[in-house]
Structure 1
């Protein structure tokens, strides 16, 4: 079985800025350089044949490249407990349109539709049971407005381990 997701890998200058901004939040498990990405669609566990169908379906996604910027930090919670600290990705319309096209391609490959609201972001930290001040996180260096060109997206495989997840790009897909 393969645990898959589709994401936009940020370029080196964005990853460097994100890494430099990390720190100052008790209990945070900060993401490593190779873990930084903006998820377009989580797929989950699939067998090899389904993975091949997914990879082929994603090759049919046509979308223009676009310029994006980092935006304000935010958090996700589960049952009132913050579990994720992230930096937003803007503008919403072009990345949301890409998300919808990826989701449509995955549905054609037999993957059930995603029913969760889509919020473009890059996760920078995760939390266990205890976190202090994550909701009021102020990056160590300014991030808002750091721009980058989105000219491709990728299919990733995720392997869970003791030190968090390891991500490997299986296939890259160029945008028009």
Structure 2
């Protein structure tokens, strides 16, 4: 069964900016250039018979293209011992609206989605225990702008676990149209 999620691809110039943030931190597993993305909706393991309905539902999702700026850093978990380090995006509203439309479409198609609260972000590093502090990095870059990009599509990704972290492969692209 494929492990799937919907997300936004980042342009190469933004990935390059984010890769420059890598500093030595205990327990940090930094994301590679190929792993940087913004997750919209995580689906998990999807049975093959559900794929046609999933793809049809995603193709019916509408929304106007928008522009995002990657700005600021934050953590899941306390900055002294984070679980994840992430970069934020502004404005969050168009991303949250696209997330909501996708969740609604998947529900109508009978495809289960993750139920935790959605917070638009780009994961930069995941941490093993014991995790080192990222307080100095946050203090230095908390509100840094890393660049903008026009969002004109969302993507269905296949996620394959690997020794160096998950490998993400584009399965299908869906253009945004008003």
With structure 2 as the length reference, what TM-score do the two structures score?
A: 0.89
**Paired residue secondary structure (1:82):** coil
Helix, strand or coil at the partner of 1:164: coil
Checking the alignment, whether the CA contact within 8 Å between 1:75 and 1:135 is kept in structure 2 is: no
Task: Give the Cα separation in 2 of the matches to 1:165 and 1:134.
Answer: 23
| Alpha-carbon distance in 1 for matches of 2:87, 2:102 | 22
In 2: Cα distance, 1:135 partner to 1:99 partner: 30
CA contact (8 A) 1:74 1:135 kept: no
Counterpart residue number, 2:169: 168
1:146 matched to 2:110? The reply is no
Shift in Å, 1:57: 1.1
What are structure 2's unaligned runs of at least 5 residues? Answer: none
| d(CA) in 2 for partners of 1:23, 1:81 | 15
Structure 1 CA distance for aligned equivalents of residues 165 and 68 of structure 2 = 27
> What is aligned with 1:9?
9
Query: Shift of residue 77 of structure 1?
Result: 3.0
Aligned partners of 1:113 and 1:165: how far apart in 2? 19
For residues 9-158 of structure 1, the aligned pairs below 5 Å read: 9-77=9-77, 82-138=82-138, 143-144=144-145, 146-158=147-159
- In the alignment, the residues of structure 2 paired with residue 135 and residue 42 of structure 1 have an alpha-carbon distance, to the nearest angstrom, of 29
Using structure 1 for the length normalisation, give the TM-score. Answer: 0.90
Q: Where in structure 1 are there 5+ consecutive unaligned residues?
A: none
Return the alpha-carbon distance in structure 2 between the equivalents of residues 4 and 81 of structure 1: 29
**Secondary structure of the structure 2 residue equivalent to 1:161:** coil
> How many equivalent residue pairs?
174
Could you say what the CA RMSD is over the residues aligned between the two structures, in angstroms? Answer: 2.1
Q: In the alignment, is the contact (CA less than 8 A) between 2:14 and 2:146 conserved in 1?
A: no
Equivalent-residue separation in structure 2 for 1:6 and 1:24 (angstroms)? 31
Q: Secondary structure at the match of 1:96?
A: helix
Specify which structure has the higher proportion of strand. Answer: 1
Report the CA distance shift for 1:22/1:81 in structure 2 as closer, same or farther (over 3 A).
closer
Shift of 1:115: 2.6
User: 1:25 touches 1:137 (CA, 8 Å); kept in 2?
Assistant: no
Q: Secondary structure at the match of 2:20?
A: helix
